[in-house]
Amino acid sequence: MLPAFEKLSKILRLEQSRDYQDQAVIGGLEKFVAHWRTTARAETQDPALSRQIDEIADLLSGYAARDQEGRARTVSDILARLEQTLTPASAPPLRKPSPHKPGPAKPTAPTPAPAKPPAPPPPVERPCTGLDAAVTTLPGISTAYATRLRHLDITTVRDLLYHFPHRYDDYSTLKPISHLEYGEETTIIGTIWETTTRRSRGGGTIVSSIVADASGTIEAVWFNQPYLVRQLRTGRRIVLSGKVDEYLGRLTLQSPAWEPLERELIHTGRLVPIYPLTRGISARWMRRLMKRVVDHWAPRTPDPLPEKICERLGLLDLCAALQQMHFPDDQKAAKEARHRLSFDEFLLIQLGMLRQRQQWRNQQGIPLPRNQPLLDAFVASLPFELTPAQKRSLEQIVTDLEGDKPMSRLLQGDVGSGKTVVAAAAMLMALAAGKQSALMAPTEILAEQHYRTIAKLLATAPEWGLDRPVSIAFLTGGLRRVERRKVYTALASGAADIVVGTHALIQKHVTFKDLGLAIVDEQHRFGVAQRAMLRGKGGTPHVLVMSATPIPRSLALTLYGDLDISVIDELPPGRKPIQTRWLLRRERERAYSFLRSQVEKGRQAFILFPLVEESDKVEAKAAVEEYERLKESIFPDLRLGLLHGRMKVKEKDAVMDRFHDGEIDILVSTSVVEVGIDVPNAAVMMIEGADRFGLAQLHQFRGRVGRGPHQSYCLLLSDAASPDDPQTKATWERLKAIEDTQDGFVLAEKDLELRGPGDFFGLRQSGLPALRLASLSNVRVLEQARAEAQAIFAEDPTLNRPEYRLLQEQLDQFWQGKNDLS
């Protein structure tokens, strides 16, 4: 027997002789056991024994809170286990790292250090403390398990602590057995009458226990877990949770979760955390591990938020939040925990943004003076009048350009709201000041579209009083080398005033003579870093980023907290609203004949197969299959095209070009069709599986039609078979909104309200640190965090005060250099 077992056994006998007053050791058994566990674990490398140690330690947690009877049961249970380990069959009696055991035995401490703190020993190579230590430093985590955990992005103790359940199952309602009803999820407490084993027809083992309480009995069965016979001993009191099933007219519990009654209820009898799992990691193992990690580490995780802030905002402290997030006392506590933890996330984002903004604003900019006559002449040359929103945005931009701080502005406007003219006007101001400008778009197609538009818009500049014709270059990765070289030279020498292009613009060969303005279109497609690289092509150029993704103001202020924001919140007059209809699955045929009738009128159509999972592969497969089916059996006489994310850039561009030129009637596509794509003749957008998407997202898809003079239509195909089942009804009511409004901002607000901020974050993933909680939180948390970040920043922008020291550290860790872009 391990020395630690002997010691514990002595202490427990003492406890017995003192009538379970919890006075056998100073500070109580519960405290003692944390220490004991570490010591005991250091004495053995045998996994079976290690498991024993953990289980014994688990049995003792919650000891202090038990009544005398409960304590007595615990003590006798443990003593029985300790005795069992004496029998050679159950485990070889290892005393110290045994000499007969070869293998990679570490030359670690041969004797357990007697007074070690309960923290696991740090790894030898890299002395990092506790929370940032590798998971393998935890007792019971082998390298095999560490590898599996890595699949969940867990490598350190901190990662574990922040590996949150994605939901809880509520087993907190205990019921007498006689009250059980078929089909309900329930928890019962009972005594085992007998446990038997039999063979199933398939040759497996069935373990069956009859469990009784004062009101009645029920049979519980488990499949292919023969070892349970030894654990489910007659007379044992256990807690069972699971779904009540029926077999041959009697109620049963099939493979219920269970545990001995004495234990603090981890798996049963409470809100049970359900963790994201991976292969080789069972729910039970994970919960047990988390329980230990949380019990031990939550109290040892320093709280970066000063107490006064927590108090003022009514937030849980970090320790309580972590504990309640994993093992909540009730739903309310779980909610408060989520609130606190997502608050932290938003606070860090916002502080990072504010820091970034300040770095930019501290730089000296290049003032581009306003040339009002030129501006007026440009506006007068347009075949339409600018909308008030366009005028307002343009004015804000021109004012920024005049200033001596570099502009950092986001121009937000729904698809078709007319951002391009505004951008062109800004470029004109750069031209007038003798500076160059660059416009970067996410794809070749969009870049080319912009190139043509800008060239057309600025072609007559000399007539407006500009001293020279405008030279515009086009640069993408698709150009031949010679062509590219020419552009490089023109930009470096200043021969080109403007360049429009793709990522190719931020390659290292590209240098500018004098870049005054950098514009990024569809900015969510680029990361913060790419934006910064474009900025880096000049001294401190003004930067304008454009986005067609309507984002509610509260969210935009957080996500784009480093930018000033202009919004074009109206469409040019005279646009026909896109007629939008929800259709049931069985109405698909109708949709097809509608498409056909539109094609017969000379229009073109999209059929979109967007999938929720962001897997190109799966999405592409679905689209390819559907394309084949449509081509063969639905529209054999029409010209169909196919577009998906697994195609090469060249292939995609070729298809898009053909669609643009009217050589394709119906384009079957995944969500890769560009947001900004301009095909005026496309009048129908049909979206499959539409009810799986948020309103803002659907609105984006819809925005790819309705750009020409024709009445356009959007058909939203639902997965639902009938509108009557309650769940469908709820979804439909939410989604009905899109039939009634064309305003992306209204839809986005609604989405935010209904689905929380999480869905929006994907849009900017490339630039943001991973967010674990955003999807679980709500707007209120977001706004609270923003206000607090501003208050903290106003008070101490460098976070140098002692009370913010931890916060500053966390901020650096959270962003890990992502924010250092100046």
Q: Does 548 bind ligand ADP (CB under 6 A)?
A: yes
Tell me whether residue 549 or residue 670 sits nearer to ligand ADP (CB atom): 549
Between strands 271-274 and 167-170, the pairing is antiparallel
User: Which of 328, 416, 501, 552 is in the footprint of ligand ADP by CB under 6 A?
Assistant: 416
Using the contact rule CB under 5 A, the part of the chain among 113-121, 124-132, 138-146, 674-682 near Mg ion is 674-682
User: Which of 52, 241, 387, 669 is in the footprint of ligand ADP by CB under 6 A?
Assistant: 387
- The binder of 757, among Mg ion, ligand ADP, none, by C-beta within 5 to 8 A per type, is none
Phi and psi at residue 12, to the nearest 5°: -70, -35
Phi and psi at residue 251, to the nearest 5°: -75, 140
- Number of C-alpha atoms within 13 angstroms, CB side, residue 121? 14
Draw the binding track, 570-589, toward ligand ADP (x: CB under 6 A; -: no contact). --x-----------------
The count of chain residues that interact with ligand ADP, using the rule CB under 6 A, is 16
Q: Give the shortest CB-521-to-ligand ADP separation in angstroms.
A: 7
Tokens at 197, concatenated: 């084993």
Question: Is residue 483 within 8 Å of residue 504, measured between CB atoms?
Answer: no
- The binder of 413, among Mg ion, ligand ADP, none, by C-beta within 5 to 8 A per type, is ligand ADP
Tell me whether residue 288 or residue 660 sits nearer to ligand ADP (CB atom): 660
Tell me whether residue 391 or residue 588 sits nearer to ligand ADP (CB atom): 391
Distance between CA atoms of 31 and 350, rounded to whole angstroms? 40
For residue 359, the surrounding DSSP H or E stretch is helix 331-361
User: Which of 140, 190, 676, 767 is in the footprint of ligand ADP by CB under 6 A?
Assistant: 676
Q: Does 420 bind ligand ADP (CB under 6 A)?
A: yes
Using the contact rule CB under 5 A, the part of the chain among 70-78, 144-152, 629-637, 676-684 near Mg ion is 676-684
Draw the binding track, 144-173, toward Mg ion (x: CB under 5 A; -: no contact). ------------------------------
**What is the three-state SS of 183-200?**
CCEEEEEEEEEEEEEEEC
Distance between CA atoms of 251 and 269, rounded to whole angstroms? 20
Tell me whether residue 330 or residue 385 sits nearer to ligand ADP (CB atom): 385
DSSP string covering 245-290: EEETTEEEEES-EEEETTS--SSSSSEEEE----TT--HHHHHHHH
Residues 756-785 that bind ligand ADP (CB under 6 A): none
Contacts of 401 (CB under 8 A, 6+ apart): 367, 368, 370, 407, 426, 429, 430, 517, 542
User: Which of 386, 605, 698, 715 is in the footprint of ligand ADP by CB under 6 A?
Assistant: 386
Q: Does 417 bind ligand ADP (CB under 6 A)?
A: yes
Question: Is residue 414 within 8 Å of residue 522, measured between CB atoms?
Answer: no
Q: Does 744 bind ligand ADP (CB under 6 A)?
A: no
Determine the 3-state secondary structure of 377 from DSSP.
helix
Using the contact rule CB under 6 A, the part of the chain among 257-265, 272-280, 386-394, 460-468 near ligand ADP is 386-394
Cα–Cα separations (whole angstroms), residue 281 to 157, 286, 380, 515, 539: 17, 7, 68, 54, 52
Q: Does 421 bind ligand ADP (CB under 6 A)?
A: yes
Tell me whether residue 159 or residue 570 sits nearer to ligand ADP (CB atom): 570
Determine the 3-state secondary structure of 206 from DSSP.
strand
Question: Is residue 672 within 8 Å of residue 700, measured between CB atoms?
Answer: no
User: Which of 352, 676, 694, 706 is in the footprint of Mg ion by CB under 5 A?
Assistant: 676
- The binder of 614, among ligand ADP, Mg ion, none, by C-beta within 5 to 8 A per type, is none
Distance between CA atoms of 638 and 641, rounded to whole angstroms? 10
Question: Is residue 408 within 8 Å of residue 562, measured between CB atoms?
Answer: yes
Q: Does 269 bind Mg ion (CB under 5 A)?
A: no
Question: Minimal CB distance to Mg ion: which residue?
Answer: 676
Q: Does 709 bind ligand ADP (CB under 6 A)?
A: no
Q: Give the shortest CB-572-to-ligand ADP separation in angstroms.
A: 3
Q: Does 416 bind Mg ion (CB under 5 A)?
A: no
Q: Give the shortest CB-446-to-ligand ADP separation in angstroms.
A: 9
Distance between CA atoms of 287 and 292, rounded to whole angstroms? 9
- The binder of 541, among ligand ADP, Mg ion, none, by C-beta within 5 to 8 A per type, is none
Phi-psi region of 97 (alpha: psi -120 to 50; beta: other; left: phi over 0): beta
The count of chain residues that interact with Mg ion, using the rule CB under 5 A, is 1
Tell me whether residue 453 or residue 784 sits nearer to ligand ADP (CB atom): 453
Q: Name the site residues for ligand ADP (rule: CB under 6 A).
A: 384-387, 390, 413, 415-421, 548, 572, 676
Q: Name the site residues for Mg ion (rule: CB under 5 A).
A: 676
